[in-house]
Chains A and B, each alone.
Chain A
Amino acid sequence: MRIFSVSHKTAFVVDHCPYMAESSRQLIECDMLTKSRSQGVIPLAPVSKSLWTCAIECSMEYCRILYDVYPTKKLVNYIVSDSEVHILNSWKQENQNTQELMTALAAVGPPNPRQDPECCSVLHGLVAAVESLCKITEYQHESRTTLMDTADRVANRGRIICLTNAKSDTHVRMLEDCVLETIQEQNKRAAGSDRLMPIQQCELVLVHIYPQGEETLVSDRQKKELSSVLSSEVHSVRAGRYLAGKLNVLVQQHFDLASTTITNIPMKEEQHANTSANYDVELLHHRDAHIEFIKTQPSFHCMNTSRDSGLKETVTLKWCTPRTNSVELHYCTGAYRISPVDVNSRPSSCLTNFLLNGRSVLLEQPRKSGSKVISHMLSSHGGEIFLHVLNSTRSTLEDPPSISEGCGGRVTDYRITDFGEFMRENRLTPFPESMVDAACRTPVERAKFQLERHTRYWPMIISQTTIFNMQAVVPLANLIVKDTLTDEDVLTCQKTVYNLVDMERKSDPLPISTAGSRGKGPKRDEQYRIMWNELETLVKAHVGTSERHQRVLDCISACRSKPPEEEERKKRGRKREDKEDKTEKNGKDTEEKGWTTDSERLKGVMEREKDEQSECEIIKDSPDSPEPLNKKPRLATEEQQPPEKSKGPVSLLTLWTNRITQANSRKHQEFAGRLSSVNSKAELYQHLKEENGMDVHENGKATR
């Protein structure tokens, strides 16, 4: 795909000279008398369009299809030529719509048959078209600016479609020569300008229009290279529906379009509301929507010649009764904009309105036998209809593994609802282009920044958190993640803290998770300590955001409970440290001291519950719960370091087991094997080695 192919710029040059006012001689009966009223009334003479009218409506149809399928990046410059040049729009994207062109065309009006034919010519328009093709479009400009050093990769190509009534083949040659000369001239000029680009490739499409019933004076000619820059082709076409057919074929060739005919569309009859008949609607879209047909079956069997559009082929697909099941969407491999060929016919508008109202239609390949193959779907998004290509063969995505088979799939207490709420709070919405915030961040950068803030402290599972399971914390938790806090927000946070203090004073229970464990869990004051720690972690993560965030932390630090037995614990801690000084002096820092006292305190907790407790209980890891000291057996050798010292929190079970082991070890004499063990592992049958003189380690079993 190349953005700046010949199709990027199309200049329409329409002849507005007096001879274009001539009638096309295609008569249209617009006085359709009904039987009951026809008596005594002379029907009105049929009307006929001028060559000009034919040229305009067919070129407008070309533009309509083009804009439907390519709303951006494919640009039209519309030029009308008589004694002077009327340029009806510019390359600007905002000028690219048929309404604006229609308004401009109405201002030009039909050709004036009384104008002096001597000073009128389509040449003025062709010169203007070449000049226009040299003008840089906003897309070319943008690409050149972003590419900087490699700006020369941005090509300038274009197409001129000239609708005229030529006198002869010689006249046609004269027009071609004129375009060629002008390109050479303009390219020289463009080379020295910033806003102009030399034309690298130009396709001239000359369409000679002549009235019906006349012999053509101009012969058709296939595309021919006139120079390295210019190629030209000549189409000699009768005005009226032949011209329409020709431009329809051209728009398809020029913009890689293909045609699909939807067949078997059931529609209620206008006259008989209870009967329905089947209709066909032909749509145009990018050729890639047919890629599967083109590649697999060069002579695809549902390709046939459409009656309306002459030579071109259409793929017929059958309408399937609409379903709302959206499973098919997952196998969609592409979506292409469509344009109906016969936009305001009744079947067309019925189909498009049906789709615009939010319904989808599945399309089936007509087959004489075998199972039905659904290969496409029509559906609209935001007022635009797309032809979706569905994968009708086997998918490489079939039978995917369940997410529960993967990492973390066995964990059952994810905060699914909370994260859903989180996602809703972080939903995206479009902002106007001009809206940039003070730090010059684009909206999407702000969104990422917000995600960063909101996830600074976000425990993923319920048993990892206390505060997010508490209604009372919600006001603070919602506010603290904000980029800026008002004084009022700070007040709300402080109130939340006071409320928690109050709860603690009243000894309200906290939702500490005891999931998966038996027993009561930690004592109340311990619960509050865990809660306060977690709250502090949350607020600390945001303390750098602003001074007001700091104030919230200050408030917590000031208000949170100081356990009454703290002094006593300190004393005990000191004693214990003295006792264990020998074994634990290596590599102890203050942080560890902090949680040594904590684990001491836990020990107290456990001792009180010792009697009633025959089985161990588990507290799920809490992020801020201190990492307890990995107690070694008393008799372990001094060199041994606690192996899991820095490997994250230790469960209460481990604490408890360690403690029991410790206590028990004092009551009996240690096994000889354990005494001589390395890493709590002792080698069995050591004597065998000596006796056999063989290294038992060889077979690996003894050491593992």
Chain B
Amino acid sequence: MPTAVLLDSSLSMTRPVSVEGSEEFQRKNLAVHGLTMLFEHMATNYRLEFTSLVSFSSLWEVLVPFTRDYNTLQEALNNLEDYDKTCLEAALQGVSNIVQQEWGTSCPCQVVLVTDGALGIGRGSLRHSLQTVKQRVEDKKFPLPFPFPSKLYVMCIANAEELQATDSMDNLEQLINLNGGEGQIYTMEGPLCLKSVQSMFGKLIDQAYSPFHAVLRCGNLTSDVQVFPRPEPVTIDEEVDPMPRTVQTEGDEIGTGATDDTEEETSTNQMAGKSPNFCVLLHGSLKVEGMVALVQLGPDWFGMLYSQADSKKKSNLMMSLFEPGSEPLPWLGRISQLGPASDAAENPYGEDDSKSPFPIQPKHKRSYAQNVTVWIKASGLQTDVQKILRNARKLPEKTQTFYKELNRLRKAALAFGFWELLKSMAELLERECTLLSDSAHPDAAFQLSHAAQQLKLASSGDSKYAAYEHNITPMLTDFSGGGGAHRI
């Protein structure tokens, strides 16, 4: 996940710290030292992650837009300038904007705020911002909580005692609370020196920037993998299941199937070396066969592996995490019920690979996949009536369709308790009967009056005729004898 570093460049950052040798340090130097350490760590362990550097005082400025080039970031750190006072709110709003512009609101992002804990005075100070946080109008809202999933880490170039002496600590804690408790405040322990700033950033690295190493396992074939971006724990239902689920580091590949949808992507990337690696083999075969592999990430948590090509030349193994649960994709069914195709009595993929057991159809069709009857709008009802009349005029050719539509209308009318409609429909059919031309087929008249009569019976509510499952069937007539006797 991307990181936005927000570095305090106000004048107070140039305050010297107590001397520990011949050289004199400013707080700014300590901040730069800490960030250098973070950038070095990321360049080695997190080189696929994007980081941006923003400096702020009463104004804010993007020094380096989101990049994977850690040299540029380092260079910017070496060329910092000092400005006036601290106005955190505007800077947080700035970070919020640049993150949204770059990544939208669904991509999680870490914000690392590096400050000396002198949070400004008067208007624009954090204290002032927090005091007025509840009196904002719609377009001047406090930037926290960030609209994107976020963690706000506050790195104080100050020790806890110093911050507690003023209300700085309280204000920073309030800031984390405003972000929904997502984040943490780090302070320096002991005297302000290079060593203590290192230990503070070391803690941040352990907490938020530890690389995700895992083992991908397919039976006895295994491969060590590192996953970018790091999969974060997920809470499914804070009430029933309040513990966040974490991805286990043993990925168990459980078989392959053909599907085509993704929820969240992370790319699995291998560490260097030249001996054969299972990941490369798997990737190659998935690519050639156009298949995906199902991977288990924990109890009732699954994902899939597939080959993703960025360009024609470059492709890599990608892992998509499904939402935790036993049935993450409805068209695969319950994952625990997926077994080896060779156990099935008949090959579900067909002898020539022409079939597939997927997608699994739902037990009940959705309303748009079945011919439901909705008469909420008058036009819906009118269309259905007209359809019947249209077919009625084409009897006996359209006998089947005529009765099918008639029965559909009859069923809906019975369910909705709309008996008046059945009577009206009957009258309409009777009138159609009288309007038949001389050249009309004799069967038409019989079918029309038969249908009308049946509708009337149904509208009486008589259980014998008004049963929902009952269908009006065409009247059996016999014209084969040249228009002779009619059987009724």
Give A contacts to B, CB under 8 Å: 1-4, 28-32, 37, 41, 44-45, 47-50, 52-53, 56-58, 60-61, 64-65, 67-68, 71, 94, 97-99, 102-103, 105-111, 143, 147, 153-155, 241, 244, 291-292, 295-296, 298, 326, 329-335, 337, 339-340, 342-345, 348-349, 352, 356, 381-385, 388-389, 391-394, 396-404, 406-411, 414-417, 419-420, 422-433, 435, 442-444, 446-448, 450-456, 458, 460-461, 464
Among B249-296, those with CB < 8 Å from A are 252-257, 260-267, 269-286, 288-289, 291, 293-294
Whether the pair A30, B385 counts as a contact (CB closer than 8 A) is yes
Whether the pair B378, A29 counts as a contact (CB closer than 8 A) is yes
Besides A31-B428, A428-B294, 10 other CB < 8 A contacts?
A: A30-B385, A47-B424, A98-B367, A108-B417, A343-B367, A343-B368, A406-B280, A424-B289, A425-B342, A458-B220
The answer, among B273, B357, B424, for a CB contact under 8 Å with A408, is B273
Q: How many interface residues does chain B have, given as a range? A: 35 or more
Among B298-346, those with CB < 8 Å from A are 308, 310, 313-318, 329-344
B240 CB-CB contact with A under 8 Å: yes
B206 CB-CB contact with A under 8 Å: no
Give B contacts to A, CB under 8 Å: 1-2, 48-50, 66, 100-107, 138, 147-148, 218-221, 223-224, 229, 236-242, 252-257, 260-267, 269-286, 288-289, 291, 293-294, 308, 310, 313-318, 329-344, 348-349, 353, 357-369, 371-383, 385-386, 411-412, 414-421, 424-425, 427-428, 431, 435, 461, 466-469
Expressed in whole angstroms, the Cα–Cα distance for A407 and B236 within the complex equals 35
Expressed in whole angstroms, the Cα–Cα distance for A382 and B356 within the complex equals 12
Which residues of chain B have C-beta atoms less than 8 A from A382's C-beta?
330-331, 358-362
- Which residue of chain B is the closest to A333 with respect to CB atoms? B106
The answer, among B147, B241, B435, for a CB contact under 8 Å with A296, is B147
Which residues of chain A have C-beta atoms less than 8 A from B241's C-beta?
153
Whether the pair A106, B468 counts as a contact (CB closer than 8 A) is yes
Which residues of chain A have C-beta atoms less than 8 A from B428's C-beta?
30-31, 44
Expressed in whole angstroms, the Cα–Cα distance for A253 and B192 within the complex equals 54
A447-B386 in contact given A402-B314, A442-B336 (Cβ < 8 Å): no
Which residues of chain B have C-beta atoms less than 8 A from A47's C-beta?
418, 420-421, 424
Expressed in whole angstroms, the Cα–Cα distance for A400 and B467 within the complex equals 64
A451-B219 in contact given A67-B364, A107-B468, A429-B348 (Cβ < 8 Å): yes
Which residues of chain A have C-beta atoms less than 8 A from B332's C-beta?
430
Q: How far is the CB of A277 from chain B (nearest CB, A)?
A: 17
Whether the pair B337, A105 counts as a contact (CB closer than 8 A) is no
Whether the pair B255, A426 counts as a contact (CB closer than 8 A) is yes
Which residues of chain A have C-beta atoms less than 8 A from B316's C-beta?
400-403
Whether the pair A450, B315 counts as a contact (CB closer than 8 A) is no
Expressed in whole angstroms, the Cα–Cα distance for A677 and B279 within the complex equals 43
Whether the pair B277, A406 counts as a contact (CB closer than 8 A) is yes
A430-B315 in contact given A4-B240, A447-B255 (Cβ < 8 Å): no
Whether the pair A292, B365 counts as a contact (CB closer than 8 A) is no
Expressed in whole angstroms, the Cα–Cα distance for A337 and B374 within the complex equals 20
Q: How far is the CB of A36 from chain B (nearest CB, A)?
A: 11
Expressed in whole angstroms, the Cα–Cα distance for A479 and B351 within the complex equals 18
Expressed in whole angstroms, the Cα–Cα distance for A53 and B265 within the complex equals 49
Which residues of chain B have C-beta atoms less than 8 A from A331's C-beta?
265
A416-B2 in contact given A28-B382, A106-B415, A349-B368 (Cβ < 8 Å): no
Which residues of chain A have C-beta atoms less than 8 A from B100's C-beta?
296
The answer, among B240, B314, B360, B382, for a CB contact under 8 Å with A400, is B314
Expressed in whole angstroms, the Cα–Cα distance for A668 and B451 within the complex equals 117
Whether the pair A428, B417 counts as a contact (CB closer than 8 A) is no
6 closest A-B pairs by CB = A443-B339, A408-B277, A382-B359, A110-B417, A455-B219, A406-B270
Q: How far is the CB of B398 from chain A (nearest CB, A)?
A: 17
Whether the pair A109, B417 counts as a contact (CB closer than 8 A) is yes
Which residues of chain B have C-beta atoms less than 8 A from A397's C-beta?
265-267, 318
The answer, among A389, A444, A456, for a CB contact under 8 Å with B338, is A444
Whether the pair B48, A401 counts as a contact (CB closer than 8 A) is yes
Whether the pair A384, B362 counts as a contact (CB closer than 8 A) is yes
Which residues of chain B have C-beta atoms less than 8 A from A343's C-beta?
367-368, 372, 374
Which residues of chain A have C-beta atoms less than 8 A from B219's C-beta?
448, 451-456, 458
The answer, among A64, A416, A432, for a CB contact under 8 Å with B337, is A432
Q: How far is the CB of A164 from chain B (nearest CB, A)?
A: 15
Which residues of chain A have C-beta atoms less than 8 A from B329's C-beta?
381
A455-B314 in contact given A396-B1, A430-B337 (Cβ < 8 Å): no
Which residues of chain A have C-beta atoms less than 8 A from B274's C-beta?
407-408, 410-411
Which residues of chain B have C-beta atoms less than 8 A from A424's C-beta?
256, 289, 291, 349, 353
Which residues of chain B have C-beta atoms less than 8 A from A415's C-beta?
281
Which residues of chain A have C-beta atoms less than 8 A from B369's C-beta?
352, 356, 383
The answer, among A30, A99, A292, A446, for a CB contact under 8 Å with B382, is A30
Whether the pair A2, B239 counts as a contact (CB closer than 8 A) is yes
Whether the pair A414, B337 counts as a contact (CB closer than 8 A) is no
Q: How far is the CB of B390 from chain A (nearest CB, A)?
A: 10
Whether the pair B367, A71 counts as a contact (CB closer than 8 A) is no
A381-B431 in contact given A57-B374, A335-B261 (Cβ < 8 Å): no
Expressed in whole angstroms, the Cα–Cα distance for A1 and B371 within the complex equals 33
Q: How far is the CB of B279 from chain A (nearest CB, A)?
A: 7
Expressed in whole angstroms, the Cα–Cα distance for A424 and B285 within the complex equals 10
Q: What are some 10 contacts across the A-B interface (CB < 8 A)?
A: A111-B417, A153-B240, A295-B105, A330-B262, A383-B366, A400-B269, A409-B270, A428-B339, A431-B344, A432-B337
Expressed in whole angstroms, the Cα–Cα distance for A381 and B367 within the complex equals 15
A419-B103 in contact given A106-B414, A340-B368 (Cβ < 8 Å): no
Whether the pair B1, A384 counts as a contact (CB closer than 8 A) is no
Expressed in whole angstroms, the Cα–Cα distance for A269 and B420 within the complex equals 33
Whether the pair B335, A423 counts as a contact (CB closer than 8 A) is no
Expressed in whole angstroms, the Cα–Cα distance for A384 and B415 within the complex equals 26
Expressed in whole angstroms, the Cα–Cα distance for A536 and B293 within the complex equals 31
A396-B107 in contact given A335-B261, A409-B280, A452-B219 (Cβ < 8 Å): yes
Q: How far is the CB of B471 from chain A (nearest CB, A)?
A: 13
A444-B221 in contact given A29-B382, A423-B293 (Cβ < 8 Å): no
Q: How far is the CB of A238 from chain B (nearest CB, A)?
A: 14
Whether the pair B239, A155 counts as a contact (CB closer than 8 A) is yes
B229, B238, B369: which has the most chain A beta carbons within 10 Å? B369
Whether the pair B288, A403 counts as a contact (CB closer than 8 A) is no
Whether the pair B2, A329 counts as a contact (CB closer than 8 A) is no
The answer, among B310, B341, B366, for a CB contact under 8 Å with A385, is B366
The answer, among B257, B273, B288, for a CB contact under 8 Å with A416, is B288
Whether the pair B337, A402 counts as a contact (CB closer than 8 A) is no
- Which residue of chain A is the closest to B417 with respect to CB atoms? A110
A396-B229 in contact given A407-B272, A442-B337 (Cβ < 8 Å): yes
Expressed in whole angstroms, the Cα–Cα distance for A432 and B431 within the complex equals 54
A30-B381 in contact given A444-B339, A454-B219 (Cβ < 8 Å): yes
Whether the pair B336, A103 counts as a contact (CB closer than 8 A) is no
Expressed in whole angstroms, the Cα–Cα distance for A345 and B376 within the complex equals 11
Which residues of chain B have C-beta atoms less than 8 A from A398's C-beta?
310
Which residues of chain A have C-beta atoms less than 8 A from B262's C-beta?
329-330, 332
Whether the pair A391, B104 counts as a contact (CB closer than 8 A) is yes
Which residues of chain B have C-beta atoms less than 8 A from A2's C-beta?
237-240
Expressed in whole angstroms, the Cα–Cα distance for A428 and B333 within the complex equals 12
Expressed in whole angstroms, the Cα–Cα distance for A344 and B379 within the complex equals 10
Q: How far is the CB of B384 from chain A (nearest CB, A)?
A: 9
The answer, among B229, B263, B339, B368, for a CB contact under 8 Å with A339, is B368
Expressed in whole angstroms, the Cα–Cα distance for A29 and B219 within the complex equals 69
Whether the pair A428, B314 counts as a contact (CB closer than 8 A) is no
A406-B254 in contact given A61-B376, A425-B342, A447-B340 (Cβ < 8 Å): no
Which residues of chain B have C-beta atoms less than 8 A from A455's C-beta?
218-221
- Which residue of chain B is the closest to A427 with respect to CB atoms? B341
Whether the pair A244, B308 counts as a contact (CB closer than 8 A) is no
- Which residue of chain B is the closest to A408 with respect to CB atoms? B277
Whether the pair B367, A68 counts as a contact (CB closer than 8 A) is yes
Whether the pair B269, A423 counts as a contact (CB closer than 8 A) is no
Expressed in whole angstroms, the Cα–Cα distance for A571 and B175 within the complex equals 84
